Amino acid sequence: MPAVNEMKIVVGEGYAWILLEAVLICIHMWITGMMMGSVRRRFFNKQFYEKKFPQYKQLGKVMRPDGGYPDDGQGRLADQLDDEDWFTFNNYRRAHMNYMEGGFAIIVPLLIAGLSYTRWAFFTGIVYIVAREIYSQGYRRSGSKGRLIGAILLDLALLILWSMALYTCFRWGNGVDGLKRLIF
């Protein structure tokens, strides 16, 4: 059965910059994770295991201080950290996890909005990346209070991109008439 209204998607050269932003967001997310890994290695090293969790030797191959980290900040190992180290570790963790939790919420709308609003989507994507770094640095330094400026800016960028992406879908789908044709 042929499609009711076939459409070709043609993108301008500016869309390549939207794709680049999507890749940069993925790289930035990965770097944030690597920063988490560095703080994890700082705390959960061989000296930590031997001093604060010597029973690791009894667990054989299941638990070794060899770079594997079974504790995400709320488990038996993190309980052995002093308060300041626990706070630091968990702030790095939350900055990273928040990025991971929200990654899809920025990349998909960026790619869709960029089809119709290339320039605006590009600039909004830049705001998001900068805001995400402000958020992460603030969280790592000061905990949840330190993320406020970054959170406001990145949420604003998200709302703008979501709006542009939703309108792009609506417009490219030929509005309500297109939806009616699809359903009926």
Q: The domain spanning residue 42 has which CATH number?
A: 1.20.120.550
Is 91 inside any structural domain? Answer: yes
Domain that holds residue 144: 15-183
Is 113 inside any structural domain? Answer: yes
Is 10 inside any structural domain? Answer: no
How confident is the model over 145-173, as pLDDT tens digits? 999 999 999 999 999 999 999 999 999 99
**What global pTM score does this model have?**
0.84
Domain count, the chain: 1
How confident is the model over 98-137, as pLDDT tens digits? 999 999 999 999 999 999 999 999 999 999 999 999 999 9
Is 5 inside any structural domain? Answer: no
Is 80 inside any structural domain? Answer: yes
Backbone angles phi, psi at 51, to 5 degrees: -85, -45
Is 69 inside any structural domain? Answer: yes
Per-residue pLDDT at 4: 59
Is 146 inside any structural domain? Answer: yes
